Amino acid sequence: MLSKSDQMPVHANCAHCGCCEQAGESPRETPPLKGWRFTAAAAGVFLVPVVGALCGALIAGQGHSAGFIGGSVGFLCGMALSIGLSKTVLRNKETNP
């Protein structure tokens, strides 16, 4: 039976594979959000759907079912808007250092 150390490859003096070089690279094309962009994305993902739900419920009217449907539609529209903004505007390669 092999021990745990025998099963794992040793990369200390390995010159044949590119595992060590590839492990440090990020597979993403765009850099992760940092600083004010991270704060804006977090606030946007939380606040935009809440504001959308409130606006949808107010626009829909006073009825219970109308308020629920309006709030749900407003919430979903707010989520779609906030996700789209965080993916396009905040992760733009030209504006994200």
How is 28-76 classified by DSSP, letter by letter?
Answer: -SSPPP-THHHHHHHHHHHHHHHHHHHHHHHHH-SSHHHHHHHHHHHHH
Instruction: Specify the range with the lowest mean pLDDT, choosing from 6-10, 19-23, 30-34, 93-97.
Output: 6-10
Tell me, what's the pLDDT at 11?
53
Structural domain includes residue 66 = yes
Tell me, what's the pLDDT at 61?
86
Residues 6+ apart with CB under 8 A from 68: 57
Structural domain includes residue 92 = yes
Structural domain includes residue 88 = yes
Residue 42 structure tokens: 């977090």
Structural domain includes residue 24 = no
Query: Would you say the C-alpha torsion 85, 47, 36, 25 has a positive or negative sign?
Result: negative
Residue 10 structure tokens: 């040793």
Is the pLDDT assigned to residue 6 strictly greater than 80?
no
**pLDDT (tens digit per residue) in 45-91:** 999 999 999 999 999 988 889 999 999 999 999 999 998 888 877 66
Q: Which domain holds residue 76?
A: 32-97
Tell me, what's the pLDDT at 23?
55
Structural domain includes residue 10 = no
